[in-house]
Amino acid sequence: MKVEIKVPAVGESINEATIAEWLKKDGEQVAKNDVLLSLETDKATVEVVAEHAGKLSTKAKAGDVVTIGAVVGMIDTELQGTTMANVATVKEEVTKPAAPISAPASAPASAASAPKPGVNEVLSPAVRRVVDERGLDPANISGTGKDGRITKYDAQTASAKPAAAPAAAVATAPAIARSNTPSGGERRVPMTTIRKRIAQRLVEAQHNAALLTTFNEIDMSGVMAAREKYKDAFKEKYGISLGFMGFFVKAAIHALREVPAVNAFIDKDDMIYHDYYNIGVAVGTEKGLLVPVIKNAEQLSIAGVELSIREYAKKARDGKISPADLGGGTFTISNGGVYGSLMSTPILNPPQSGILGMHKIEERPVVVDKQIVIRPMMYVALSYDHRIIDGKEAVTFLVKIKESIEDPQRILLEI
């Protein structure tokens, strides 16, 4: 029996995906639950596994854009009987290091060394093509795929090592005038599906909303003192460090309750107000910025928020984050401070109407009770859609954030 391999439904409103790479080759024997290929959507990377054992035949290649439900390959289960016993042997032979090669007695010592096991043997055709075209050494590429495999993205973003000029040529080459022509060359790397979608949504946000940004600054002394006092007990109980994001998520929820327009969005001629708080937390990855959503964050403690963020960050780094993890947000928080940003204007994550930008904490002189003191200060920014949020509401929202962070007990008392 031949079983079709179809592009699975990978999330609401997602109609197509790009085949990032085939992890199994055309004609290869596969076992049930083997990962066959990875798909890139506009939100995440999804792996497709074999539902049956048998011989694989592919009908689409890496880089193809395929629609949801499209048939991209077949598995012939009639060839999965005794032949599957050979699959483990084949896999073992592929990964087994080559036996050392004995050099002739007259060969120089360098020739007597055994060659390094061929990493190329476990590369997918798409990855091997990029490696060959760019002259890369797979042994120098860090793989981010399953079991450390090198993905097409890894190869596309790896740096090629320039070949060293022969010593003699360098020594005898005459001095020449410096040319104005660029000597470094250029590289054309296709945008990933995720990166193209990020670019599209950022442009949409600026074209389809009346985007404004307002700023404030926060004295972080109160939160920093609370972290210092309770960090050991917190980590002992929950197994995770006490960060700033948990405080900011809870402060944002309090502010959103006070200014509900920031937790709403425009749908044609209507304004849709949310009575729940799904807070997106921006996470930077090698493939771009992802925004996993903490669903019903108002029901979580600070510890629950921190644990959720840790789980999502790990899934994002491992390429395991799903479209469901990224959908349904009502408000977003982005922390550019982890990269050293002192101030920025974050861009909305449509259809949301507001996004809070956190920034680097920096000690600055400020006036407190008519005295100049040094305090750890952070600039915060609220970018918002002025069609639904007035300037007064935007300023009020940031003031509520400021009050909660400067006096963390307000978060517990919800005042």
H/E element, 264: strand 264-267
CA geometry: angle 154, 282, 225, nearest 5 deg? 120
The secondary structure of 33-100, three-state, reads: CCEEEEEECCCCEEEEECCCCEEEEECCCCCCEEECCCEEEEEEHHHCCCCHHHHHHHHHHHHCCCCC
Whether the CB-CB separation of 126 and 21 falls below 8 Å is answered with: yes
Catalytically active residues, by annotation = 386, 390
- The token duo for 105 is 């007695």
Partnered with residue 76 across adjacent β-strands are 2, 55
How many whole angstroms separate alpha carbon 16 and alpha carbon 137? 33
Amino acid at 83: T
In angstroms, rounded to a whole number, what is the distance separating the alpha carbons of residues 12 and 44?
Answer: 13
From CA 53, how far away is CA 410, in angstroms rounded?
A: 58
Q: Give me the residue label for tokens 């969005």.
A: 265
Pair of tokens at residue 6:
């179809």
What's the gap between Cα 141 and its chain centre?
Answer: 19
- For the chain, the residue count is 415
Is residue 357 within 8 Å of 334, Cβ to Cβ?
yes
Q: How many CA atoms lie within 13 A of 109 on its CB side?
A: 0
The strand pairing partners of 30, in sequence order, are 54
Dihedral sign for Cα atoms in the order 156, 159, 165, 166: negative
Token digits of residue 82:
């005794």
Nearest residue to 384 via CA among 311, 323, 332: 332
The sign of the CA dihedral 234, 240, 245, 251 is negative
